[in-house]
Amino acid sequence: MIRAEGPDSLLIIVPAFNEVGAVAEVVRAVNRSVPGVPVLVIDDCSLDDTIAEARGAGAEVLPLPHHLGLGGCVQAGYKLAFSLGFQYVIRVDGDGQHDAGDIPRILDRLKTSGCEMVIGSRFVEQSGSSTGAVRSLGIRFFRLVLRPILGKPVYDPTSGFVGVNRNALSVFSRSFPLEYPEIEALVVLQRRRFRFEEVPVKMLPRRTGRSSITARVSLYYIVHVLLGVFVNILKYDRRFHRPVKPPSGGGAD
Amino acid sequence: MDRLLNVTTVLSVLLVLMVLFSVRRAHIRVEYSVSWLLTGTAMLLLSRCRPALEIITRWTGVPDTPLTLFLISGALFLVMFFRFSVIISHLRDDNVALAQRVAILEYHIHGLEHHEESGAL
């Protein structure tokens, strides 16, 4: 069982759904990059042997009882990390796109800057990462939308390679978007006057599987995320919402 | 006009009976059947009380009495759909929170079991 040790305890969380072909190598790469740091794979009810592969590679696994989607999956990891007392959590995707070698840079920026969130960004510097035309267009669009809302530019708002400190962890364990969480999470933080920074990272080609945001669903993605952003801006304090409170906090948004 | 009102009466009675049977067989919980029963009863009363329907038509300025009936039923069903969307959203939130909580509790239980096993050895 994982434990938070020391004042700078770090947990790496890896949300995974049917990532049997990549998850073991992701865990090994993390272990090589930050030896001794616990790795928690959150299995979103995979139909393949993702759990066995992750355990075989040395990770702890948090299996969800049914499929929750990316946001619910990541939030489960945040809730566990928060309840165990971790100070920092870095999310690495289970498909192998994130280079674990960038984890120390994200952690270092989290510690030195004191900001609540650090985003591993493909576009802060020209790091050679390439995205599809549709996705690239979507990223440009959301940069424009988010600029006035966040009060500063964000170069890679859709990046899932994200580190958070305990303040953000406290917020996300109570309130986190269920679908397409990356962009909305930025607005959730902004509403609390939290700060974020970006550090350049390298994105690798996906090892297995396909992105959930295909060209066909990209219009739905844009509408959904835009709505989520504006709802978060206009959100009132849900003091009177029926609570289902786990020990570490309430539900998802 | 009369035929339309008769058809509406029959449909309303069918709706009310269907809901009552569903409640009896526990296919619908009582609290979720109330809005269906109220809607069905409202449609039944309106279809059997033509003067009331004509008053509403004059009052709202709708050019046609059958159109009034159609608009009222549409509005009632829209309100119900909205109500059920709210209920489903709450259930989804609760469901996610419970699933996460179950996962975290199971994780702690397995940790304790593992700890006990290693202590027993």
- Cβ–Cβ under 8 Å, residues A39 and A10: no
Of A70, A75, A47, A50, the residue nearest A61 (C-alpha): A50
Query: From the list A1, A72, A242, which residue is nearest B100 (CB)?
Result: A72
Mean per-residue pLDDT, B97-108: 96
Helix, strand, or coil (residue B88):
helix
Q: Kindly state which CATH superfamily the domain A10-234 is placed in.
A: Spore Coat Polysaccharide Biosynthesis Protein SpsA; Chain A (3.90.550.10)
CB nearest to A62's CB, from B93, B94, B107: B107
Higher pLDDT, B23 or A129: B23
Residue A250 has pLDDT above 50, yes or no: no
Partner B contacted by A75 (CB < 8 A): yes
Chain A hits for B102, Cβ within 8 Å:
65
Q: Search chain A and give the residue with CA nearest B90.
A: A242
Query: From CA A22, how far away is CA A100, in angstroms rounded?
Result: 13
Closest residue by Cα to residue A241 from A250, A232, A233: A250
Contact pairs from chain A to chain B, CB under 8 Å:
61
Say whether A244 and B93 touch across the interface (CB within 8 A): yes
Rounded Cα–Cα distance for residues A149 and A141 (Å): 13
Contacts with B114 (C-beta within 8 Å, 6 or more apart), sequence order: A1
Best interface-test mutation with B: which of A46, A61, A66 has the largest number of B CBs within 10 A? A66
Tell me the Cα Rg of chain B.
25
What are φ and ψ of residue A229, in 5° steps?
Answer: -60, -50
Nearest to A76 among B94, B100, B114 (CB): B100
CB within 8 Å: B103 and A251: no
Indicate if the pLDDT at residue B42 is higher than 80.
yes
For residue A16, the model assigns a pLDDT of 95
pLDDT at residue A132 tops 80: no
Residue B103 and residue A64: Cβ atoms within 8 Å? Answer: yes
With an 8 Å Cβ cutoff, are B102 and A248 in contact? no
**Cα(A140)–Cα(A61) distance, rounded to whole angstroms?**
36
Contact between A244 and B100 using a beta-carbon 8 Å cutoff: no
* Residue B114 clears pLDDT 60, i.e. is over it: yes
Residue A213 has a pLDDT of 62
- Give me the residues paired with residue A42 across strands: A15, A62
Closest among A181, A34, A63 to A117, alpha carbons compared: A181
Answer whether residue A247 shows pLDDT above 50. no
Q: Which residues of A touch B107 (CB under 8 A)?
A: 1, 62, 80
pLDDT given for residue A61 in this prediction: 96
- Tell me the mean pLDDT in the region A135-154: 86
pLDDT digits (tens, 9 = 90+) for A60-117: 999 999 999 999 999 999 999 999 999 999 999 999 899 999 999 999 999 999 899 9
Give, in order, the Cα–Cα distances in Å from B56 to each of A75, B6, B11, B65, B66.
51, 19, 21, 9, 11
**What pLDDT sits at residue A253?**
58
Tell me which of B100, B107, B108 to substitute to probe the interface with A (most A C-beta atoms closer than 10 Å).
B100
Q: Name which of A230, A151, A245 is nearest A193 in CA terms.
A: A151
Q: Is the pTM of this model over 0.90?
A: no
A253 contact residues in B (CB cutoff 8 A): 93
Q: How many angstroms separate the Cα of B23 from the Cα of each of A182, A230, B10, B18, B81?
A: 43, 40, 20, 9, 19
In this complex, the residue of A1, A245, A252 whose CB is nearest that of residue B96 is: A252
For residue B73, give the 3-state DSSP assignment.
helix
Q: Is this complex's ipTM strictly greater than 0.95?
A: no
Residue pLDDT, tens place only, A16-39: 999 999 999 999 999 999 999 999
**CB contact, 8 Å: A35 with chain B?**
no
Q: What residues in chain B have their Cβ under 8 A from chain A's Cβ atoms?
A: 90, 92-94, 96-104, 106-108, 110-111, 114-115
